[in-house]
A and B are shown apart, each in its own frame.
Chain A
């Protein structure tokens, strides 16, 4: 059921991507939307190919199922997200200071704000998880 929904989502990415590309080629939107449409279309196609392989190749299906539920993979995924968050805060904060010194005040502000948003999200997540566990 969950997999069916994910397959439908993949089809949706293709449709939305194609629509964005079409609108862009018709001159109704700029290249930003064209780029986003191309990316969504490509992601959708790749996912559909993977789903077809999943449903038609039993060995691949078994491998994917084990990999998806493997506790070490989940542990690594959690650690990778944590590292990505730490690195984003460090790089974002440093970039904010460097850009401010270099005179790119607006970009510096955006970098600083994005770090603040991440910190707020971390705090909210911590509060929610503290109640859960």
Chain B
């Protein structure tokens, strides 16, 4: 699934380490999420949405899954 995590993180000027710490996950998880190699659990998706104060749909794009 595609996502805008990297762009959102850079917009906020946050390092991957800091985002990982805030979400209680490893930095490698953030890297994999940004590359679209790993889809987060619903719980982590909600955490990300709350962190960036955005709806989940504005962070993740599931158009590929719907096609």
Contact = CB atoms under 8 A, between A and B. Distances in A.
Interface of A: 66-67, 69-73, 75
Contacts of B20: 66
Given A70-B25, A72-B25, 8 more contacts: A66-B25, A71-B29, A71-B43, A71-B44, A72-B28, A72-B32, A73-B29, A75-B38
B57 interface: no
Interface of B: 20, 24-26, 28-29, 32, 38, 40-41, 43-44
Nearest to A71: B41
Nearest to B44: A71
A66 B28 CA distance: 11
A72 B29 contact: yes
Nearest to A63: B26
A9 to B, nearest CB: 26
A106 to B, nearest CB: 45
A75 B26 CA distance: 13
A73 B32 CA distance: 11
A109 to B, nearest CB: 42
A70 B32 CA distance: 12
A71 to B, nearest CB: 5
B38 A72 contact: yes
